[in-house]
Amino acid sequence: MKRRVVVTGIGLVTPLGTGTEKTWESLVNGRGGIGPITRFDATGHASQIAAEVTDFKTEDWFEKKQSKNLDLFVQYAIAAAELAWQNSGLSITDENRERVGVITGCGMGGLPTIEEYHQIMVERGPRKITPFFIPRVIPNMPSGHISMRLGSKGPNLTQTTACAAGTHAVGEAFRHIAYGDCDIAVTGGTESVICPLAVGGFSAMKALSTRNDDPESASRPFDKDRDGFIISEGSGMIILEELESAKKRGAKIYAEVIGYGQTSDAYHIAAPPEDGEGGARCMAAALRDAKLNPEDVDYINAHGTSTPLNDKCETQAIKTVFKEHAHKLAVSSTKSMTGHMLGAAGGIESAFTALTLDTGIIPPTVNLHNPSPECDLDYVPLTAREANPMVAISNSFGFGGTNGVVVMKKFSS
Amino acid sequence: MAVEAKMIDIIVEQLSVDKEKVVPGASFVDDLGADSLDLVELIMAMEEEFDVEIPDEEAEKIATVQNAIDFVAKIQ
């Protein structure tokens, strides 16, 4: 007998602001967080724009001795986890300690530090590599540090499935609680790789927008003039909790998680198949897990990266699964405002999906002025919509052909 | 004296401890909260600051502030 799982806490560190209220307020008002890259001198790069977290103050969260050995992707994750934990009202006790897990997602790990120390090693030799190099860069450090900060002793895992990592983390956390491996989980994603190697690498794949003269309108999912995604950073963490535990303590419940799907394209290292069949099977698998029919879904928080290929194939995949209903449900891409937070995206978008169900407000797809002919669904263009959706799904698709979909519904006991 | 003052600054910086705690007899691990990785990094910072090379077998003997000062004064 599977147990029911609900969302009882949310913590966000995004280019729209540190804290759930700041980010959500920007999101429902259609305000984005994309501008010129300031983290490094991007002269010579094809793409010179990014969505950077601007209001995060390391000293608000860490003592100096700690922070100097924590890369930004770890700092963002810890901060988002603490915000989510506070928001949930939970506390760690000797009774629950071993029943609390941390399952996070991260696509890349500490690439900026790898760049820095590679240069130091080449110029000055291997003896100049800090002993904190490895613990700074490995992608599972966020879940490790979060569990150390909280004192939680349940499962401690990290998904590294590229841009699907956050969604796979949330889905796995949902399963862990449903099947009894733990009662509570801190889950979501984190990323911070606005650095020359990542921007240069994604640019070489022609994956990034080069609309350098107009960053605010560069992320335009489903629009005919879209030309790539915008690299972004931050962390989104949520608290998942077994329903009876949440009810017993009278917790605020944002939404119920009711399904999880995962598939592989078995097709290409980066491109989805033309008909998006891997994504389609993933949505179908998640709906089967949730014991829902396609017509039950009111809203899709799309992967919607703003690359020519993703948005076309994702639209096709939605039509394959939902058929006629595809034209009745609402789809939006919050990446139009946040940019693409890579391994953090699924965590952030799971949080947005829960907030959409809780508040009844669907965030818009901004910059969508002229949809591509092949993108013919209702993408909630330009302005948010009060629609009170009952069931929503969140899609994430990652390089390597890996897909993840989480299903949530508005909570009712 | 110059070595001592510089050494104290390095320790304060590397271990993020108050200057008053960095007394000659203070043990890096027991009194100043360093773990084994902090110690490696501290030795690296000393090498950098004093432009010396401290072999691992010597580094293992440096357990207190005074040990560090004496060692650097000796080899400089």
**CATH number of A156's domain:** 3.40.47.10
Contact A151, A178 (CB under 8 A): no
Enzyme catalytic residues of B: 35
Q: Is A239 exposed, middle or buried (0-12, 13-18, 19+ CB in 10 A)?
A: buried
Query: For B35-60, what is each residue's pLDDT tens digit?
Result: 999 999 999 999 999 999 999 999 99
Domain boundary among A196, A217, A248: A248
Please answer yes or no on whether B15 and A130 come within 8 Å at the CB atom.
Answer: no
pLDDT score of B8: 96
Query: For A241-296, what is each residue's pLDDT tens digit?
Result: 999 999 999 999 999 999 999 999 999 999 999 899 999 999 999 999 999 999 99
Q: Are A298 and A364 in a shared domain?
A: yes
Q: For A64, which residue in chain B has the nearest alpha carbon?
A: B16
Q: Are A372 and A275 in a shared domain?
A: yes
Please answer yes or no on whether A132 and B44 come within 8 Å at the CB atom.
Answer: no
- Smallest CA–CA distance, residue A135 to chain B, in Å, is 10
Q: Are A169 and A273 in a shared domain?
A: no
Nearest to B41 among A64, A127, A131 (CB): A131
Distances (CA, A) of A206 to A164, A283, A311: 19, 27, 15
- State how many domains chain A has: 2
In a domain, A92, yes or no: yes
Q: Are A358 and A226 in a shared domain?
A: no
ipTM: 0.90
Say yes or no: B40 contacts chain A, CB-CB below 8 A: yes
Strand partners, A186: A102, A239
In a domain, A40, yes or no: yes
Residues of chain B positioned with their CB less than 8 A from the CB of A128: 44
Residues of chain A positioned with their CB less than 8 A from the CB of B16: 63-65
Please answer yes or no on whether B41 and A130 come within 8 Å at the CB atom.
Answer: yes
**For chain A, what is the mean pLDDT?**
97
Query: For A323-373, what is each residue's pLDDT tens digit?
Result: 999 999 999 999 999 999 999 999 999 999 999 999 999 999 999 999 999
Domain that holds residue A103: 5-248
Q: Are A320 and A345 in a shared domain?
A: yes
Residue in A317, A229, A299 with CA at minimum distance from that of residue A50: A229
In a domain, A334, yes or no: yes
